[in-house]
Each structure stands twice: as structure tokens, then as C-alpha cells.
Amino acid sequence: MEEIKNMIETGKTALGIELGSTRIKAVLTDSNNNPIASGNYDWENRLTDGIWTYTLEDIWTGIKTSYKNMADDVKEKYGTDITTIGAIGFSAMMHGYMAFDKDKNLLVPFRTWRNSITGEAAEELSKLFDFNIPERWSIAHLYQAILNNEPHISDITYLTTLAGYVHWKLTGEFVLGIGEASGMFPIDSANRNYNAEMIEKFDNLSSKKGFSQNIIDLLPKVLVAGDKAGTLTDEGAKLLDESGKLKSGIPLCPPEGDAGTGMVATNSITKRTGNVSAGTSVFAMVVLEKPLEKAYPEIDIVTTPCGDDVAMVHVNNCTSDLNAWVNIFREFADEAGLQISMPKLYDMLYFKALEGDKDCGGLLSYGYFSGENITHMSEGRPMFVRTPDSKFNLANMMRTHLYSSLATLKLGMDILYKENVQIDKMFGHGGLFKTKDVGQSFMAAAINTPVSLMETAGEGGAWGIALLASYMNTKQNGETLTDFLNNKVFAGGSVYTLEPKADDVKGFNEFAKRYADGLPIEKAAVENMK
């Protein structure tokens, strides 16, 4: 305890803060990269005028509160205050649209990754580049605003993401880590920068639509893991720590997206490795040995924090509908006067799903709270469907909702297998895996690949960005991020792996066919249930 206290007081620490979809988390690590304190803040996106958003007040309230809760945790455990930190990193949900004028005023409310409102732009840009541009990418949002002739576009001077915005406010540096930047505009992995040929194509196209700015002038500077990305300013220190105890001058690493920090937190940044994060959304990342044969609308090409190409299957909807059904049982328990904690309730229902039929007994559900690019849904309508002769019981119902949370992901992963993409190991992290063996075994069945969990994976992306901050601050000459992770973070770490079972794989495939065949039902609900 005294050793850790000394590390805290002398700044031999790293702090990572990640702004996820439902939680902002701060993790402080010691000089051995072990988490020693944490603080959380729960928040929810708002649907305002048809746009999924968080306000600037939401953002800063969440950051300050998560930092304060972490600092309080330090005070309680070690009896000391935080006045300095070795290095800090910020991460956030990727993509989205934050546009600012020359005076750094936000021009329109933050448009998050969850919005499916840029279909026309994404389709046109994908054809122009011969490269998949997903609807949630920043460049799709910008071009859609241009197509819509939105009044604010002539005033845009800065375009960034949530992580980039927070870093900018705290340091004054308008930069992005390359993994996060790859969700704004396509990256040339050989040059570790935005793709120059596509920059030129976009400028030629947008100028014909009356947009006079050059896109490269609006985008943040690209940095890679290990680069210095500025220091905490006096203003930034006050923004982060309202108590005034934290001093300025602390170095910050490049801000990254939650996809990149998830890769770091699971040590899956080398070729033929991958990870899958399953929570409000679900996405799988596979580091490629070589480029795919062609562009696929279901597959995003992003990069690791070092700039290597990654195939990403991103699904907007994962556990939201699943959580809603669990809450129905919580309400029932409350009405019945039963005292059941939420963790116990989740375990009870998830374990029950293991008893269900391998194909879910003919049941079907779509957990779409929002639209899905992979299945071409502009909006979401959560729904549960069965025939009169389906085997409708609790086990099958819960198994159906768990399968449904992964079914769209499977549709995308199947494309990679057809491309003969090799995956030696796949690591899982996120809320879906909290109940032992359930989410992990269903994920293994969905992607027909062994799925491993690490003891430390529960710390998630906040720990991942803390590791990137630590790497930047302590790396030796020539030490790669892979060397750092293998030798200084994960050496001797515990890994728990589940192999896919043949009958589970067969059952999931049967469910997936029913799921794909039933998509017109979901489409009809979107069209007819306003």
C-alpha cells in the first residue's frame, strides 16, 4: 500500500478515461500497469429531434464525475490526493460528427455513431472511393450535411470526434490517434495518414456541391501509438479536476476510439488476432495479413493504434433489447416481493438460456433499437416473433434474445471467412461476457472460433487507453507496442478459452438462417410502425 501511495504521489501512474455508450470510466494504473483505482459515471444518449446525441454538459459532467469518483477511490484506499499523473489518455465511442466554427463553438448537436441518417452520402462515397464508408463515419455525416444544404456547413473550421474534442479542450492540440482517425476518413496504412488520393476525390466532389473548404484543413492531425500528443493545460486541469488539486503539464497520449482501446486491452493488435466487444453495440476486429479482395458494405477497414489494417464488423445493436427483457423480470420480481439483485437475475436468466433448444425452438427476435447498416435497416423496431407451434418457454426465449444480440455480427463475420481471413485467437470483452460461459459459448458458436477471456478484460477500454498513455510515457528506444504489451502487461496473464461446440454451431446456423429470412418482418415494422 505504501509503495502504491508513493507511486501516486510521485506521478508514476497512468490514467485512462473512456466515454462509452452507457458509462464513462476512469482507471488509474501503477508503474506496473496494474489498475489501482477507478471511477464510473452512468449516462444515456438522448433522441432529440430524431438525432441520437449527448450534450456538451452531459460530456463534461460525466468526465468530471468519473475523475472525482476515481480520486475518491484513491483517497479511500491509499489515504492521499492526486496532484500529478505520469500520463493521461482519453478514449470514446468511435465515429460520429462534431463540427466547430473558427471560434471553436459547436455548430450542431453531437451526432453519435448510433445515427443511421447518412445512407445517401455513405453510398455515394463508397462508390467514389471503391472503399466502404459506413453511415456512422464522420466523412459520411459531413457529406450528408453538404447534400442536405445544412446552413452550418459554410462555417465549419474543425471536424473531430468525441475523443478528439475532449483531448482538444484539455490540451489545445487538435490531433487524433490513427485508429480513431480511421473512423473519420480512410487511412493509408503505408503512410500512416489520411488517404491522399481519396482526399483529392472528396474535394473534387464536394466542390461541385458548393463546399469550398478542403477536407484536410478540417481534420485533426494523425498520430500513432507512442507519439506525444500535448500536455494538460491549466484550463484543462480545472476542467478535469474541479477540486483544483491536479497540476497542469501532464503529458497526454493520442486520443483513441473504443475499438482501438479494446484491441490494446485484449492484446490483439498483431496480425491474425482479433477481439470482439459486446455491450450496447457489438463489434469484432480482426488484424489483417493482407487487404481484402474487394470492398464490402458490411466490413469497415480501420486500423490498430499503430496503423495496421483491421477488418471491423460493427453492429449498432447488441444488448439493449436483451437488457430490456431482463428488466421486465426485475419488475415482476419487485411486484412479487422478491429480493433479487440485478447480477443474480442476469445470471439466473442467462444460465437458463443454456437449457434451451440449440436452434431456439423456432423463436425469433430482432433487438433493433436503432438502424443497422449490415441488414439495411434505416431505423429500429425491437420485436419478438413466434409461430403457433414454436417451443415457447423461458429457456428458449432467453436463448433467442442472446442469439439475436449476435446474429447480425455473424452475418458480417461470415464474409471474412469466405475471404479466407485467418484468425488464430479471438478475445472477448464487454458486458455480454459477465455471466460465466454463457455469452462466451454463444459467441464461439456464432463465429465458429474459440473465444478467450482475460482476467483483466473487465477493465475494458479505459484500461486500454491507460496502457497507451503508459507506453508513450515509458517506452524504451525501439520498443514496439506489441513488445510493451507482451513483456510488460500480459506476461503470465490468465486466459480462459471456450471452443465452439458442433451442436451449438449447427443450432446457431439454423437460427441465423431464420433470422436472415425474417428480415422483411423487421423492415415492414420500420415502414408501418411509426
Q: How do residues 171-222 score in pLDDT, each as one tens digit?
A: 999 999 999 999 999 999 999 999 999 999 999 999 999 999 999 999 999 9
CA distance 315 to 330: 27
The mean pLDDT value for 351-365 works out to: 98
Q: Tell me the three cell numbers of residue 396.
A: 428458449
Q: Tell me the three cell numbers of residue 133.
A: 464508408
The mean pLDDT value for 339-363 works out to: 97
Pick the closest to residue 89 from 482, 470, 457, 489 (CA basis): 470
- DSSP code of 355? T
The full set of domains in the chain, from first to last, is 95-160+185-218 (3.30.420.40), 320-455+502-528 (3.30.420.40)
What is the reported pTM? 0.84
| Residue carrying the nine cell digits 445517401 | 120
Pick the closest to residue 357 from 387, 391, 325 (CA basis): 391
| Residue carrying the nine cell digits 509503495 | 3
Which residue type, as a one-letter code, is found at position 405?
S
Pick the closest to residue 396 from 347, 354, 446 (CA basis): 354
CA distance 44 to 352: 29
| Residue carrying the nine cell digits 473531430 | 160
Pick the closest to residue 367 from 395, 329, 402, 411 (CA basis): 402
- For residues 422 and 288, the answer to whether their CB atoms sit within 8 Å is no
CA distance 328 to 469: 41
- 428-483: pLDDT as tens digits: 888 899 899 999 999 999 999 999 998 765 667 899 999 999 999 999 999 999 99
Higher pLDDT pick, 504 / 492 = 504
- DSSP code of 372? B
CA distance 141 to 116: 10
- 155-169: pLDDT as tens digits: 999 999 999 999 999
Pick the closest to residue 13 from 514, 466, 528, 480 (CA basis): 466
Q: Tell me the three cell numbers of residue 426.
A: 479471438
Rg (CA), the chain: 23
- DSSP code of 97? B
